[in-house]
Structure 1
Amino acid sequence: MSNILVVPFVGFLVLPASLLACLGTLLGGSEELAGSATVLPLLNALVWMAQGFAAVPGAELRVPSPAVWQMLFFYLFLGACFLWRRRMAGWVAGALVMGMLVLWTWAPRDLPEPGSVRLTFLDVGQGDAALVETADGHVMLIDGGTASEKYDVGRMAVAPLLWDRGIRRLDLVVATHPQLDHVGGLAFVVGKFEVGEFWTNGVSRDVAFLQRLEEVIAARGVPVRPVSSADEDVLVGDCRARVLNPVLSLGGGVYGNDGKRLNNQSVMLHLRCGKSAFLFTGDVEREAEAWLTERGEDLEAAVLKVPHHGARGSVYPPFLGVVKPRVAVVSVGRANAYGHPSRVMLEAYAGLGISILRTDLHGAVTVTGTDAGLQVSCESGRRLRRVKLWEGPDNAEVQNMRRLFSERGTCGVAA
């Protein structure tokens, strides 16, 4: 609605005045912007209008991105509406256009099939973010990637996925440990979505990104709960979540920059959904893995989120022998400065016959757990491939069309 006023204001006043001011400055040879006394009030008025409309309740409406086939039909119906506007077919096409607009605005949830659970390991660069969705509509977000002045993963990657899935509420948000690459993007997400409960490992740090997150949580009135292995299991829809780590809730403890200690206090979650089990490990290293292995915990899981982005210090073969994963997902940034995932990690997992999926190579990884087994898809399987004309005729273009319209992309590994 704001565009009704803003667009003509910019088009008929701000833009012409700015162009004339630039032209006058060039022709006059002045070191200052000619006509700035006129342009500046117009720009201030534009900012005032934008801020005023943004403050109106409900001014911001996010809707899922339509599928390609939906957009094609929308413009087909829109064209038919104008071409045959005086015929009954035009009125029918117009009604279909309005119906599609209402459907997109309504934004129904994209739920997993009944009896299944969907996990999405987002491609957030060198960081972690995973989304869990149950068939009955419950949602859990584990970490939210990094954030900086130039790029906020919460705003650029996590929130758009939630909006695309029609998600407006997160039943549970888990911050595995207070490091920037795991919780930096959560401030934006918590500020934009309703959150039922926020889990932490109870560790505090005197760092700006964590203070920002805590301020947003307090402003939104989100309940915060430090968790530990002493807590009872929690139901998240049809799934049962069990906290394996940290050993004891650390309350209001304050840590400095001891990376290993922070990593080993990561919240670890074992999630069982029907016949499928999943293990989220944060950044734990071999010390925590050894302790859990020796304690005799039930760690078996079909899907393992590889600890600490596949770092060398997080490889502990007995731990893998107890977990027995079929699929391991490494959340890692392309050409990162840490050399993740390490060759030691890749060789150890491959030696055990574990299928390895990497977000730097495969993009976002989606795993759907059903009673019949796992269904795995990768964003890389939907990327269009470059077609080289000199290689002769083949079905490359046909394969690209299939990728374009496919809802799931292949990963190229056994799952």
Structure 2
Amino acid sequence: METRFLGSKTKRFYFNNGVEDVSYVVIYGDELMVEPLEDNIAESYRTAIYRGREGKIASNTKLLPKRSLEFYFLDIGQGDASFTVTPDNIKILVDGGLKDRALGFLIWKFRLDQPDTSVTIDHLFLSHADKDHIDGLEPLLEHPKITVKNIYHNGIGLYADGHNTEIGTMENDRLRTIHDSVQDLENEHLKSDFSEWIDAVKGSGATYQRVDASNGYLPIGDASVQLEILGPTLESDNSFKWFGGKSHTINGHSLIFRIDYDHVRAFFSGDLNVEGSEHLLSIPGNTLKVNAHIFKAPHHGSHEFSQNLLNHVNPMVTVVSSGETPDHGHPRAVFLGGLGLAGRGKMPLIFSTELSALFVDAGDVEAQVYSDATVTTLGDLDFSDSLANTEARQRFKKVLPGIINVRTDGEKIFAFRRVQMGYQWESYELKYNDV
């Protein structure tokens, strides 16, 4: 059998589920194991394995020898979490959201319910330490089948006392308290959520490194992909500008970056707000650096956004990550309108994880329960028991419709939203220079 990747927008995969013959829709870039075709045999179908199921696909199916650049924007309720796989199979996680949806995704995608399976996250980026970005990372770091190699952060912690703000000491409109390593926090009195996160980092064995715009391009282990850190930006005295309050300052100094693959660029903007965006764009060259085809929208579609930033990003495909509980009114109508004004090409696309997650069968009560971000979906499971992963995978399948899939070969961009539990898709194919 050979490993190949689907080279067309969608294709049917046929198999028997033990009861009847059924089919799934496979999407661009999906991995398949296929039986080689013999030149002298003109069969209509060829044997294939997709996600552990043996079946068949049409013999004329376009298959590629190389993986695409894959983006998964997860439905984790109110918050952010996304997962990237590069063509050389480097795995990048950005934020973890509330509760444990990111963990559930990894268990589902990498079949951690099966014996002798595991997954290594090469790079984990924490945009900032707010609860709706950090909460889901602790159980992930503690899972026995998941290894995280490198963790990057913006250097802003959360403190219970010892400073004049929750994020450190502020004086003369500058945030002076910045940490690089876990050792820098040893004598600090941390807020409970942040303290639990740091304890999980210590136990994980991962490196823990502060990065900012001065790092520039960060080596990630795949020469075909470039990742450039665009923010935060330190002042000349190694402090951060104070943006008028704790929330505005920690959001405005999110760890943000751009990923480039051939002609296609993707911008991950954390929780950038008006102040953070204006500060970012004031730095020479950054109006060009933020320009991107794929855009992880800032701050869940909040009304506190910069139209100037959206215009300079000029995105083709935008994903807004938000949830219904707690209800912050995200994504705001004015933000969606701003994205419409800033969109690139003939058919700019705007996806919402929250809206996508609503397309669950209204009669499926269990699925509706798990779509509520206030419910801890996996917190009652003991992962030292192998059966816990089986249960976790089944639970996560209830929230699959909320995932937005975006994939690119560096020229074409494919975007997908699952519209029902039966592996059906709303699908789009664009080209980087479509105007």
Task: Decide which of 404, 410, 413 is 2:426's aligned counterpart.
Answer: 410
Distance in 2 (alpha carbons) for counterparts of 1:251 and 1:70: 59
Distance change in 2, residues 1:283/1:191 (3 Å): same
Moved more, 167-176 or 121-130: 167-176
**1:179-328 correspondence to structure 2 within 5 Å:** 179-192=130-143, 193-205=146-158, 206-236=190-220, 237=222, 238-248=224-234, 258-295=246-283, 296-297=285-286, 298-314=289-305, 316-328=306-318
Three-state SS of the structure 2 residue aligned to 1:120 is: strand
* 1:178 is the counterpart of 2:178: no
- Name the CA distance, whole Å, in 1 between partners of 2:426 and 2:302: 26
**In 1: Cα distance, 2:304 partner to 2:107 partner:** 32
Asked if the contact 2:415–2:428 (Cα under 8 Å) also holds between the matched residues in 1, the reply is no
Q: Tell me the TM-score normalised to structure 1 length.
A: 0.63
Instruction: Tell me the SS of whatever aligns to 2:304.
Output: helix
Aligned residues: 291
- Select which of 360, 363, 369 maps to 2:408: 369
Cα gap change, 1:276/1:413 in structure 2, threshold over 3 Å: closer, same or farther?
A: closer
Q: Tell whether the 8 Å contact from 2:216 to 2:230 is kept in structure 1 after alignment.
A: no
* 2:297 counterpart of 1:345: no
Q: Secondary structure at the match of 2:276?
A: helix
Is the 8 Å Cα contact of residues 129 and 142 (structure 1) preserved in structure 2? Answer: yes
> Using a 3 Å threshold, how does the CA distance of structure 1 residues 115 and 75 change in structure 2: closer, same or farther?
closer
**SS of the residue aligned with 2:194?**
helix
Question: Contact (CA 8 Å) 1:140, 1:171: kept in 2 or not?
Answer: yes
Distance 1:241 1:223 in 2: 18
Give, as a single letter, the amino acid of the residue that structure 2 aligns with 1:228.
D
Cα distance in 2 between the residues matched to 1:120 and 1:177: 20
One-letter amino acid of the structure 1 residue matched with residue 202 of structure 2: A
Q: 1:338 and 1:69, CA in 2 relative to 1: closer, same or farther beyond 3 A?
A: same
Q: Aligned equivalents of 1:251 and 1:191: distance in 2?
A: 33
Query: Which residue of structure 2 lines up, in the alignment, with residue 82 of structure 1?
Result: none
Alignment correspondent of 2:88: 136
* Letter of the 1:222 counterpart: A
Q: Secondary structure at the match of 1:260?
A: helix
Distance 1:334 1:274, change over 3 A: same
Q: Show CA shifts across 1:223-264 (max 9, x none).
A: 1000101103123323211111111299999x9x81111101
Shift, 1:275, TM fit:
1.8
Structure 1 residues 405 and 285: CA distance shift in structure 2, 3 A: closer
SS in 2 for 1:234: coil
- Is 1:72 the counterpart of 2:17? The answer is yes
2:130 partner amino acid: Q
Distance 2:219 2:327 in 1: 38
- The aligned residue for residue 359 of structure 1 is 353
For residues 251 and 127 of structure 1, do their structure 2 counterparts lie closer, same or farther at Cα, with a shift above 3 Å needed? Answer: farther
Provide the rounded CA distance (Å) in 2 between the counterparts of 1:251 and 1:291: 16
In the alignment, structure 2 segments of 5+ residues that lack a partner are 1-11, 22-48, 54-62, 159-189, 357-401
- Partner SS for 2:279: helix
Q: Between Structure 1 and Structure 2, whose CA radius of gyration is higher?
A: 1
**Relative CO higher for 1 or 2, CA cutoff 8 Å, sep ≥ 6?**
2
Deviation at 1:411, TM superposition (A): 5.1
Contact 1:229 1:243 (8 Å CA) reproduced: yes
Secondary structure of 1:170's counterpart equals strand
- More helix, by proportion: 1
For the residues of structure 2 that align with 1:123 and 1:364, how far apart are their CA atoms?
A: 5
The Cα offsets for residues 257-300 of structure 1, whole Å up to 9 and x where unpaired, read as 81111101110011112221100011110111112222231111
Contact 1:172 1:198 in 2 (8 A): yes
Using the alignment, how far apart are the partners of 2:354 and 2:252 within structure 1? 24
Q: In 2, distance between residues paired with 1:122 and 1:324?
A: 23
* C-alpha distance in structure 1 between counterparts of 2:140 and 2:301, whole Å: 26
**Which has a greater percent of strand?**
2
For 1:377, the aligned partner's letter is F
Could you list the per-position Cα deviations for residues 132-184 of structure 1 after superposition, in whole angstroms to 9, with x for gaps in the alignment? Answer: 0012111000001112xxxx334444543454797610000011100111011
Q: Deviations over 1:82-129 (max 9, x none)?
A: xxxxxxxxxxxxxxxxxx9xx68xxxxxx9962620000001010100
Letter matched to residue 243 of structure 1: I
Which secondary structure does the structure 2 equivalent of 1:312 belong to? coil
| 2:76 alignment partner, one of 124, 128, 145 | 124
Deviation sequence 1:326-358 (CA, Å, 0-9, x none): 111100113642111111101111233442100
Please tell me the residue identity of whatever aligns with 1:360: E
Alignment deviations for residues 364-400 of structure 1 (CA, whole Å, 9 cap, x no partner): 1010011331000112x2x05xxxxxxxxxxxxxxxx
Q: Secondary structure at the match of 1:247?
A: coil
User: Residue 89 of structure 1 aligns with which residue?
Assistant: none
- Give the SS at the match of 2:17: helix
Deviations 1:25-49 (A, max 9, x none): xxxxxxxxxxxxxxxxxxxxxxxxx
Determine what percentage of the aligned residue pairs are the same residue.
Answer: 22
Q: CA RMSD in A?
A: 3.5
Distance in 2 (CA, whole Å) between partners of 1:164 and 1:74 is 25
